[in-house]
Amino acid sequence: MMTSIRFKEAVKVWPKVSKSLTVPHNDKEYNRAVHLLDELIDTVGEDEKHPLSSLLEVLAVVIENYENQHYAEPEGSPDESLKYLMAEHGIKQSDLKEIGSQGVVSEILSGKRKLNMRQIKLLAKRFSVSPAVFI
C-alpha cells in the first residue's frame, strides 16, 4: 500500500522533474547533468541528511555510468583517481594547496582522510572531470 502511494506521488511530479533529471544520451545532456551535480554539491555540501543528498548520489551514479561508457576515466577509489590524475598532469602534492595543507593532501592520498565536497568541486574543475570521479 505504501509503495503504491509513493508511486502515485512520483508519477505526479515526474513530468516536471524529468526536464532536469534524465539519463544522458549525448554530451550536451551529460554536460547538463554535470552542471546540475555541481549545483547540488554547492547546495548539499557534506550534509548527508539534506533532503537532496540522495538526489546528488543518484545523479553521481548516472553521470558515472555515462562516463564509463563514453570516456576513459580513472577507475578506483577517490584517492587512487587523484593519484592517477596527478601523475597524468605532472602535479605534486605541493601543487594542491587549494585543497589543504601538505598534511591534509598526504592524508587524502593515503586514504586516511576523505575528500569533502569543496575539495571535490575544486579538483573536478582543476582536472576537467566530473565530480563523480571523486565521490
**pLDDT tens per residue, range 28-69:** 998 899 889 989 988 988 888 999 999 999 999 998 888 888
Of 38, 70, 102, which residue sits at a domain end? Answer: 70
Q: How many CB atoms lie within 10 A of CB 31?
A: 12
- Average pLDDT along the chain: 87
Q: Model-level pTM greater than 0.85?
A: no
Of 49, 70, 91, which residue sits at a domain end? Answer: 70
CATH of the domain at 113: 1.10.260.40
Residues 64 and 87 in one domain: no
Please report which confidence band the pLDDT of residue 133 belongs to, taking 50, 70 and 90 as the band edges: confident
Of 31, 47, 70, which residue sits at a domain end? Answer: 70
Higher pLDDT, 76 or 119: 119
Residues 8 and 66 in one domain: yes
What is the distance between the alpha carbons of residues 91 and 38, in angstroms, rounded to a whole number? 24
Averaged over 93-115, what is the pLDDT?
91
3-state secondary structure of 131: helix
Residues 61 and 100 in one domain: no
Query: What's the total number of domains in the chain?
Result: 2
Higher pLDDT, 73 or 121: 121
Residues 37 and 18 in one domain: yes
Residues 92 and 65 in one domain: no
**Residues 6+ away with beta carbon under 8 Å from 43:** 50, 52
Residues 92 and 64 in one domain: no
What pLDDT is recorded for position 96? Answer: 92
The percentage of the chain sitting over the pLDDT mark of 70, rounded to a whole number, equals 95
What pLDDT is recorded for position 128? Answer: 84
**pLDDT tens per residue, range 67-93:** 888 876 556 788 898 999 999 899 999
pLDDT exceeds cutoff 70 at 109: yes
Provide the residue range defining the domain that includes 30: 2-70
Q: How many CB atoms lie within 10 A of CB 60?
A: 20
